[in-house]
Structure 1
Amino acid sequence: MSKYDVFELVTHLRKCPEAYLQSSDFFSTEGVNSIALVQDTYRLVTNDFLRNDFNISSNLGTIDDNHWRAIHISTWLLSNPDFINNPVIEDKLYSFWFIELHKASAYVKCNEWINDDERAEEMVRLLLYCCEIIPFGENQDEAADKLSSLSSVERHKVLKQSYEAHERIMKIKREMEEQKAREAANTYGRE
């Protein structure tokens, strides 16, 4: 098994148990206690099981359910042996969970992280990027290009720009048609 092989990590991610897809619930047994799951993942990654102070977002109430479920799924990904006992990435997990994954989960439903090959690869590559890890068999430029081509945030940005450009074109066409109609009316009025 190659360390940080994208295909192997995607395969691991796609085997995520159903329990990780449950809603976040901090007070009862109906869902997943997301904070406990994140803290346990920190402990697994750092190999420090007695520690209790971890970098977790202070705005927990603003995190929606879809984002929490994406975090749950990513903790399963981080249970892969490549990430266990790797304290170097600890400081980078906050950025992955609470910044980058937050942006991406705005455009990706939680089940797609597991069921869609491209979204699964996007999560793997996003984690590797945030942890400053270059995937096995790739160089930094190749890894960045592949992440960019899969990025839900980038895809949404391109679609939005395309839509805005189309709207500008349609506005110019309407203005030209209105101008043409006014000129025709003026010509008709002079005759």
Structure 2
Amino acid sequence: MMEKSGPTLETLVHRLAETPTEFLDEPRVGTSGKVHVAALVNDVLALHGQRAPLSALEYFVSSDARRDRNRLALVMIACWLLAEEWFASVTPPQNMVLNLLGATVAEMAQANAAHKFVHDPDRREELVRVVLARLDYRPAGESVAEATDRLSGISGVERKRLLEASRAAEQRAADIRAALARKAAEESADKWSRE
């Protein structure tokens, strides 16, 4: 993960700080709001030379404002970031972009209000680092270890993911120890019964 060097962190953080008001407007949810987020996602993919199937774009259409407004607002902000010239020049794989704008953004939107990722310096850095990491890049000038460490330090979503991975690894290790103990007990019992 994050094998490739990307743009400078400062360039992308600055871009987020200057997000145009059009990308901060209300997302279209049902019949209210201005911005059709599915069209915006499609435009960003087109900028990258890609075309999304309609089924993939349906995720960015909603009729439940209470549930989806913040998520769609954060998708709009992430689209502004992905429209940066550098991303268009490297053309990240479509499935990675859609996963980033889908599952990753949805998880981040559960933790913070979308506009915090524009107005709060730490949240701007978090969004930039998460976007780069999910597309297999790290900020220019950082090693993989530095980028990983900084991402896990600033991103609540990343900390949660690492904690869950650690718990899963601990559970697998406990299961293996238990299986080895059972096998040793069975072998001991077999040996004892043969004698």
Q: TM-score, normalized by length of structure 2? A: 0.69
Give the letter for the 1:107 counterpart.
A
**Of 140, 143, 148, which residue of structure 2 is paired with 1:144?**
148
Structure 2 unaligned regions, length at least 5? 162-195
Change (3 A) 1:43 1:92: same
Preserved CA contact (<8 Å) 2:59 2:102: no
User: 1:20 is matched with which residue?
Assistant: 23
3-state SS of paired residue (2:137): coil
Structure 1 unaligned regions, length at least 5? 158-191
Runs of 4+ with deviation above 4 angstroms: 26-30, 57-60, 154-157
**Are 1:97 and 2:98 counterparts?**
no
**Are 1:40 and 2:43 counterparts?**
yes
Q: Which has the larger radius of gyration?
A: 1
**Are 1:53 and 2:57 counterparts?**
no
Per-residue deviation, 1:152: 2.6
**Once superposed, what is the RMSD of the aligned Cα atoms?**
2.7
Separation (CA, whole Å) in 2 of partners of 1:3 and 1:154: 19
Separation (CA, whole Å) in 1 of partners of 2:38 and 2:60: 12
User: 2:188 is matched with which residue?
Assistant: none
Higher relative contact order (CA 8 A, sep 6+): 2
Measured against aligned partners, the alpha-carbon deviations of 1:122-147 in whole angstroms (never above 9, x if no partner) come to 00000000000121001111111111
Per-residue deviation, 1:60: 4.2
Change (3 A) 1:68 1:58: closer
Preserved CA contact (<8 Å) 1:108 1:152: no
Tell me how many residue pairs correspond in the alignment: 154
Preserved CA contact (<8 Å) 2:6 2:138: no
